[in-house]
């Protein structure tokens, strides 16, 4: 794990992928096994091996503190991804997701919480695969890649 360690409850673990609930006790994943299979498919499509991915679901406050401490950004965000991989074709990292931001985004976009959560989760994976979203062109490419990955869910 990154220096920003999670101490929450391990909600679900599979070889190489785990889901942790940090400070949002009412949060739960109803499709954890399907999510693992989907993320494994995305890694395989990109010819990456999963060493260890940890998804940490947390509150706005929790993620805001990480954003300030590690990125020096005093803003709310829906996701922060820490890449811990030493090898180019290996996925290893910690993906912190604010379930409050995801809920607000879903409402603003008039989509389901589940769909927005999946988009944000795969957004973090795409960062670990080397995709960026710093400018308009890369944001557009990232959105297209998210849409492609979402089309591979199958659940």
- Do the domain assignments include residue 1? no
- Do the domain assignments include residue 120? yes
Residue 146 CB: number of other CB atoms within 10 A? 20
CA-CA distance, 146 to 94, in Å (whole number)?
19
What pLDDT sits at residue 133?
93
- Do the domain assignments include residue 3? no
Instruction: For residue range 62-94, list pLDDT tens digits in order.
Output: 999 999 999 999 999 999 999 999 999 999 999
- Do the domain assignments include residue 4? no
Instruction: For residue range 104-155, list pLDDT tens digits in order.
Output: 999 999 999 999 999 999 999 999 999 999 999 999 999 999 999 999 999 9
Q: Which domain holds residue 67?
A: 9-151
Res. 20 pLDDT band, cuts 50 70 90: very high
Q: Residue 3 pLDDT > 60, yes or no? A: no
- Do the domain assignments include residue 108? yes
Number of domains, the chain:
1
- Do the domain assignments include residue 141? yes
At 141, list the tokens.
Answer: 């490419």
- Do the domain assignments include residue 2? no
Res. 8 pLDDT band, cuts 50 70 90: low
CATH number of 19's domain: 3.40.390.30
Res. 11 pLDDT band, cuts 50 70 90: low
Burial of 136 (0-12, 13-18, 19+ CB in 10 A): exposed
- Do the domain assignments include residue 110? yes
């Amino acid at each position: 794990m990154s220096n920003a360690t999670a101490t929450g409850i391990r909600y679900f673990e599979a070889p190489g992928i785990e889901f942790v609930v940090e400070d949002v006790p009412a949060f739960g994943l109803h499709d954890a096994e399907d999510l693992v299979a989907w993320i494994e498919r995305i890694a395989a499509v990109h010819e990456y091996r999963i060493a260890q991915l940890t998804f940490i679901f947390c509150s706005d406050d929790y993620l805001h503190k990480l954003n300030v401490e590690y990125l020096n950004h005093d803003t709310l965000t829906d996701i922060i991804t820490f890449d811990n991989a030493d090898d180019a074709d290996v996925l290893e990292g910690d993906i912190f997701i604010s379930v409050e931001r995801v809920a607000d985004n879903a409402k603003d976009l008039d989509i389901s919480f589940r769909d927005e959560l999946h988009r944000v989760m795969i957004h973090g994976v795409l960062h670990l695969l080397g995709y960026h979203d710093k400018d308009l062109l890369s944001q557009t490419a990232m959105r297209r890649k998210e849409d492609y990955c979402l089309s591979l869910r199958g659940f």
